[in-house]
């Protein structure tokens, strides 16, 4: 049976790999592209590639239901994660589908509804305390998706760190239940299929459809375990994301935390990236903090350092929880 499960994960990876390839070719042909502004010449790259992950993710859910058990709650979680990807895809292509920029309040409303619905179904409140827990868990779901969305900007940044986190979750989930470990290994396989084409030099960019999907996928499956300690463990793996958003972007660049008004990095003639020239205080994110510490670096070097930091944080918490909590 172990061989069958392993073969299943390989199949999910191959489906993800093939689907991402098909979508990147289609999007490029349909001119759903974006400039890779962190490279000399700003080559065009297929955008919104994250939408390709929906199919392999649902294959994972179907195979889980076949090998283990059917649970309507997993279907609800899957629908919520899919809707996050769709919201991201519409935002990626707002000029094409939505006739312009959509306000944050309008975008946040469906995200809040989806998050509250999933948390409420998984943790049915019976009193005021239960209702508060549901609200906190809804914030967890939406928050991790948002952190994944903002912890991005370089080739392989989000997809690589998310793959690392998914593997750690799969290992620790063994203590919670083998079936949950299977889900996280499957999610890692889905992400890896995308990472192959998103690593430096990227052939496809995730867009909001990819970053929101990946973050929601990790958060949603963590909630599906219905194990509060495992949920806390998952949250701690996002400490680098939290530092990036709250302690760097929000403190130094609150008015443009998404870094759309000014290019986040400056490309030097030798293709290395450095901090742009700002009028006034430097507007930091995680990558620019590393540039401040290590100086100008090639894009792949910066991402490799970020991966290393995420691995260290992940390994620390994984060891702690695996050995002493579960």
pLDDT at 4 (0 to 100): 76
pLDDT at 255 (0 to 100): 81
Q: How many CB atoms lie within 10 A of CB 62?
A: 13
What are the phi and psi torsion angles at 258 (to 5°)?
-80, -10
pLDDT at 259 (0 to 100): 77
- What stretches of the chain show up as alpha helix (H) in DSSP? 2-29, 54-67, 72-92, 94-97, 104-122, 128-150, 157-176, 178-198, 207-224, 228-236, 239-242, 250-252, 286-294, 299-324
Nearest to 223 by CA among 129, 140, 110, 128: 140
C-alpha torsion 282→42→87→200, nearest 10: -90
* Omega cis (within 30) before 153: no
pLDDT at 104 (0 to 100): 56
142 three-class SS? helix
Beta partners for residue 35, in sequence order: 44
Domain boundaries, the chain: 2-242
44 three-class SS? strand
pLDDT at 114 (0 to 100): 96
Quick check: 206 and 214 in contact, CB under 8 A? yes
pLDDT at 106 (0 to 100): 65
What are the phi and psi torsion angles at 260 (to 5°)?
-100, -25
Q: How far apart are CA 217 and CA 274, in angstroms?
A: 32
According to DSSP, residue 101 is labeled P
What are the phi and psi torsion angles at 204 (to 5°)?
-150, 145
Residue tagged 């549901």 (tokens) = 134
Q: How far apart are CA 7 and CA 20, in angstroms?
A: 20
Residue tagged 């689907």 (tokens) = 19
Hey, what are 35's tokens? 């400039």
160 three-class SS? helix
Q: How many CB atoms lie within 10 A of CB 124?
A: 9
Give pLDDT tens digits along the chain (326 positions). 677 788 899 999 999 999 999 999 999 999 989 999 999 999 999 999 999 999 999 999 999 999 999 999 999 999 999 999 999 998 877 654 444 445 555 667 899 999 999 999 999 999 999 999 999 999 999 999 999 999 999 999 999 999 999 999 999 999 999 999 999 999 999 999 999 999 999 999 999 999 999 999 999 999 999 999 999 999 999 999 999 999 999 999 888 777 777 889 999 999 999 999 988 889 999 999 999 999 999 999 999 999 999 999 999 999 999 999 98
pTM confidence score: 0.95
Q: How far apart are CA 289 and CA 271, in angstroms?
A: 18
């Amino acid at each position: 049976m172990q061989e069958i499960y392993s073969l299943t994960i390989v199949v999910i990876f191959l489906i993800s790999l093939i689907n991402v390839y098909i979508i990147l070719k289609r999007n490029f042909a349909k001119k759903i592209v974006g400039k890779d502004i962190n490279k000399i010449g700003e080559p065009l790259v297929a955008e919104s590639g994250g939408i390709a992950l929906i199919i392999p993710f649902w294959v994972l859910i179907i195979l889980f239901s076949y090998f283990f058990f059917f649970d309507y709650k997993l279907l609800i979680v899957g629908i919520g994660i899919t809707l996050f990807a769709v919201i991201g895809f519409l935002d990626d292509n707002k000029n094409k589908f939505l006739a312009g920029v959509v306000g944050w309040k309008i975008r946040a409303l469906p995200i809040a509804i989806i998050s509250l619905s999933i948390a409420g179904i998984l943790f049915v409140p019976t009193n005021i305390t239960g209702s508060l827990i549901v609200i906190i868990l809804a914030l967890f779901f939406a928050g991790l998706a948002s952190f994944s969305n903002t912890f991005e900007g370089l080739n392989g940044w989000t997809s690589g760190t998310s793959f690392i986190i998914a593997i750690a979750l799969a290992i620790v989930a063994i203590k919670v239940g083998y079936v949950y470990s299977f889900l996280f290994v499957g999610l890692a396989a889905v992400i890896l299929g995308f990472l192959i084409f998103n690593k430096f030099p990227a052939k496809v960019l995730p867009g909001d459809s990819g970053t929101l999907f990946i973050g929601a996928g990790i958060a949603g499956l963590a909630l599906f375990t219905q194990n509060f300690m495992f949920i806390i463990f998952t949250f701690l793996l996002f400490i680098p994301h939290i530092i990036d958003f709250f302690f760097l972007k929000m403190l130094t660049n609150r008015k443009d935390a998404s870094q759309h008004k000014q290019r986040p990095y400056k490309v030097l003639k030798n293709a290395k990236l450095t901090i742009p020239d700002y009028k006034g205080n430097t507007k930091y994110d995680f990558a620019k903090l590393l540039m401040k510490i290590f100086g100008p670096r090639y894009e792949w070097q910066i991402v490799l350092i970020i991966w290393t930091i995420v691995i260290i944080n992940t390994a620390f918490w994984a060891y702690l929880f695996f050995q002493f909590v579960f």
